[in-house]
């Protein structure tokens, strides 16, 4: 009997060009799982309709909070973060997870980088929130959150999550133009804000610049980092490790680290 093809997808808006389909197809091939991974473009009011035929799916930033109301259950950290980017179907139920912190920490682990004690995170979106809380869990004692709009709901939610995580974390909110450096790591999560708004002073003293999104081209921020000999961590690491975690959630996949290295090299060799 022919095995049923499982259906998975990335749900969001303005999804092209994206590399998620390539990465997930490679992981399905490694697992020997018969599955498809598609892009589903939609508007907010169509979200519920497209979920019925999917065995699992990812959602982009626009829907990381909205999707929660359609779920039957959520992972423990989701309640704190108020953010879901990966969903698994169990019968008629949908269960939500967040893979941002896993993707971030696995990247540091692979590159033998210790979690920073002090960091600046550009943006206050769902990805920023997950990373900031995770670093607080790992003992970070200082964070700068750089946002253009200091009255945004995203920032309020991020500050709430950090305070509820019960860590002795010193938090400063600044405009990007006010960044003066002096932190161990600068993390960029805000793709909608021109990175040219981040001044050169923001990189002073940093050991690493971490991009959470994959961009094969040099940006204003990575150019500054390269000029100052600051190590740039490509967003491809986080993309791949998040996909690995999604496959573990969806069907219990297990991968050899050497295979993950090979997938990464396809992109790192062409950056």
Tally Cβ neighbours within 10 Å of residue 258.
7
Percentage of the chain exceeding pLDDT 90: 70
Please check the confidence at residue 195 and state whether its pLDDT lies above 70: no
List the chain domain ranges.
6-98+237-268, 102-233
Model confidence at 31, in pLDDT bands (50, 70, 90)? very high
Average pLDDT over residues 240-247: 98
Q: What is the CATH number of domain 102-233?
A: 3.40.50.720
How far are the Cα atoms of 95, 140, 164, 187 from residue 169, in angstroms, in the given order? 31, 7, 11, 17
Q: What is the CATH number of domain 6-98+237-268?
A: 3.40.50.10860
pLDDT digits (tens, 9 = 90+) for 112-159: 999 999 999 999 999 999 999 999 999 999 999 999 999 999 999 999
pLDDT score of 235? 94
User: Which one-letter DSSP state was computed for residue 148?
Assistant: S
Dist. CA 158–CA 173, nearest whole Å = 11
- Judge whether 6-98+237-268 and 102-233 match in fold: yes
Tally Cβ neighbours within 10 Å of residue 14.
8
pLDDT score of 1? 44
Preceding peptide of 17 cis, ω within 30°: yes
Whether the CB-CB separation of 129 and 158 falls below 8 Å is answered with yes
* Mean pLDDT, all residues of the chain: 90
Average pLDDT over residues 188-215: 86
Tally Cβ neighbours within 10 Å of residue 193.
17
Q: Could you identify the residue written with the tokens 């390269």? A: 226
How far are the Cα atoms of 20, 38, 249, 266 from residue 113, in angstroms, in the given order? 25, 34, 26, 22
Model confidence at 194, in pLDDT bands (50, 70, 90)? low
What predicted TM-score, i.e. pTM, was given to this entire model?
0.93
pLDDT digits (tens, 9 = 90+) for 68-86: 999 999 888 888 899 999 9
Please check the confidence at residue 192 and state whether its pLDDT lies above 60: yes
Model confidence at 20, in pLDDT bands (50, 70, 90)? very high
pLDDT digits (tens, 9 = 90+) for 249-266: 999 999 999 999 999 998
Phi, psi of 186 (to 5 degrees): -105, 125
Q: Which two tokens stand for residue 145?
A: 């959150």
> What end-to-end distance do the CA atoms of the chain give, in Å?
43
């Amino acid at each position: 009997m022919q095995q049923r093809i499982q259906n998975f997808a990335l749900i969001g808006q303005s999804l092209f060009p994206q590399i998620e389909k390539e990465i997930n197809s490679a992981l399905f091939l490694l697992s020997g799982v018969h599955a498809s991974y598609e892009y589903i473009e939609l508007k907010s009011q169509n979200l519920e309709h497209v979920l019925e035929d999917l065995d699992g799916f990812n959602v982009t930033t626009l829907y990381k909070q909205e999707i929660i109301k359609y779920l039957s259950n959520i992972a423990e950290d989701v309640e704190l973060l108020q953010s879901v980017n990966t969903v698994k179907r169990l019968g008629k139920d949908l269960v939500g997870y967040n893979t941002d912190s896993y993707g971030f920490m696995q990247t540091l682990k692979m590159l033998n980088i210790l979690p920073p004690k002090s960091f600046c995170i550009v943006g206050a979106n769902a990805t920023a929130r997950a990373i900031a809380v995770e670093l607080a869990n790992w003992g970070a004692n200082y964070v700068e959150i750089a946002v253009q709009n200091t009255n945004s709901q995203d920032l309020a939610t991020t500050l709430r999550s950090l305070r509820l995580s019960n860590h002795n974390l010193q938090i400063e909110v600044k405009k990007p133009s006010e960044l003066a450096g002096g932190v161990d790591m600068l993390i960029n999560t805000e793709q909608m804000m021109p990175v040219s708004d981040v001044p050169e002073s923001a990189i002073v003293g940093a050991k690493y610049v971490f991009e959470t999104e994959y961009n094969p081209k040099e940006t204003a921020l990575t150019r500054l980092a390269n000029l100052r000999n600051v190590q740039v961590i490509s967003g491809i690491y986080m993309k791949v490790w998040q996909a690995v975690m999604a496959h573990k959630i969806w069907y219990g996949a297990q991968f050899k680290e050497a295979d993950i290295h090979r997938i990464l090299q396809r992109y790192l060799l062409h950056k």
